[in-house]
Amino acid sequence: MKLTVEDVVAEFNRPVLVNEHGCWLWMGATDNYGYARYGGNLLVYGYLCRKVGKISPIGTDYLHQCSNHNCINPDHFLVGTNKENMNDDNRKAMGPKGRLTDVQINELALMLEEGIYTKTEIAHKFGVSKPWITKFLKGGFKYAKAI
């Protein structure tokens, strides 16, 4: 089964934005890590992956290929082991630096300094999660070389 953004919006009655990376950005509730939740405990990306036939057998996880915690696009997930997920996170330095240019990082930092944009607005503009913005502000990332 192939899902569209419109299918997801209709099923959950929540807005979903699509960014330039093809991420489907969930505009509903998220958990403390920025992952999309519905009804308090349904992890939206897992539900959607199962709905399109991506089953995560015992001992495996869904691996977020885009590193955007609030992305729910099932095409952005693979099934793999927890070790593969950790290796992937380490390779990407747990943030979007691997796919944002230095110019974009500087723009993001300037927007934060200006104080007129919310963390949520900035996160949506750059396709990252709100918790990523908070961690960025605290200097909590080791960055990989920019592209």
Question: What string of pLDDT tens digits covers the 147 residues of the chain?
Answer: 889 999 999 999 988 988 888 889 888 888 877 788 999 889 999 999 999 999 888 888 888 887 778 899 999 998 988 777 766 665 554 444 445 666 777 787 788 888 888 888 887 777 777 777 777 776 654 433 232
Q: Same domain for 78 and 19?
A: yes
- Asked, for residue 144, whether it belongs to a domain, the answer is no
CB 61 within 8 A of CB 80: yes
Q: Same domain for 15 and 83?
A: yes
Q: Same domain for 83 and 130?
A: no
CB atoms inside a 10 Å sphere around CB 118: 12
Q: Which domain holds residue 72?
A: 5-91
pTM over the 0.85 mark: no
Nearest one of 134, 110, 107 to 120, comparing CA atoms: 134
